[in-house]
Amino acid sequence: MPLAATLAFIVGGLFFAEPMRDKKYVTMMDPFQEKYGNGLTGLLSVVPLMSEIIWVTSTLISLGVTMSVILDLSYAVCIWISAAVAVTYTLLGGLYSVAYTDVIQLSLIFVTSVKYI
């Protein structure tokens, strides 16, 4: 799965980033909306929405487990703390803070996953 995602990002960056910037698209769904209209674009948006919900959930669970081991707090409390930190970063710092938060979260997930492999 990580290899497929990496390949998708590389191909997307090499072939689609410049044409989309030239046309001043804001989201990845803008070309679909332009070609197929609002109805089909809304339907096509369901899959990315569901995958994002699963991704955020798995990230928060991973962070909650990590924090509960390190801080010796309840699992649920650690998930709430992780969510509060992510929401605070997003509200205060915008897109850059989201990117930095993701880097930190993925680093922590990687470090803690290596311990159990």
For range 90-106, the mean pLDDT:
82
For range 24-52, the mean pLDDT:
88
Report the pLDDT value the prediction gives residue 6, as an integer from 0 to 100.
77
For range 21-26, the mean pLDDT:
89
Exposure string for 20-33, b = 16+ CB within 10 A, e = fewer:
eeeeeeeeeeeebb
pTM: 0.58
The band of 117, judged by pLDDT with boundaries at 50, 70 and 90, is low
Distance of CA 85 to the CA centre of its chain: 15
Is the pLDDT at 40 greater than 80? The verdict is yes
Report the pLDDT value the prediction gives residue 80, as an integer from 0 to 100.
92
43-95 tens-digit pLDDT: 988 988 898 899 888 888 988 888 898 888 898 999 999 889 888 878 888 87
